[in-house]
A = this chain, B = another copy of it.
Amino acid sequence: MDALAPAPLALGALADDPGFLLRLAQLRAYAAFFDEFADEGLTPGVFSMLLVIDANPGVRQGVLADALSIKPANMAKTMRRLEMDGLVNRITPDDDRRAQHIRLTDKGRALIAAHAGRFRAQAERAVAILKPGERRTLVALLQKLAGRDAP
């Protein structure tokens, strides 16, 4: 008979697979972001680009793409849109005229400043089920996993 398949589904070999759990956890984190920013038309990808540009004024476009694991081809399209939206400036430096140096405009800085509080709130909410110590541990382990820990 077919009365098996219990209510909380058995995950089998998936139950402790890091890749699968990372996917589920990330879906939840993205959902928290969209809950907070649904009305703004702001995506996690664009917001993280703006934050990293803010932390690295004049960063080369390809370096930014590399840091965020985005293909240069796709970065080009997004940067063109952000420039047209007036959020970033792109400057061709004299010492290497192939490159594009990127900075936030005042409008770009104002945008992330206006959303910084809600961004932090969303990040907290995404891991609200964890105790404070657990959150710190999780972040530290993910930093290590992503090659982003302090050496």
Supposing A18-B123, A29-B18 touch, asked if A24 and B134 sit within 8 A by C-beta, the answer is no
Q: Are A54 and B145 touching (Cβ within 8 A)?
A: no
Assembled-state Cα–Cα distance A101/B2 (Å): 8
A133 CB to closest chain B CB (Å) equals 11
Q: Which of B4, B9, B56, B119 contacts A9 (CB 8 A)?
A: B56
For this chain, the copies found in one complex come to: 2
Given A13-B116, A127-B145, A130-B145, list of 12 further CB < 8 A pairs? A9-B56, A12-B51, A12-B54, A13-B119, A16-B143, A18-B126, A18-B142, A20-B44, A22-B25, A24-B145, A24-B146, A129-B147
List residues of chain A with CB under 8 Å of any chain B CB.
Answer: 2, 4-6, 9-30, 32-33, 44, 48, 51-52, 54-60, 63-64, 67, 69, 91, 93, 101, 116, 119-120, 122-123, 126-127, 129-130, 134-135, 137-139, 141-148
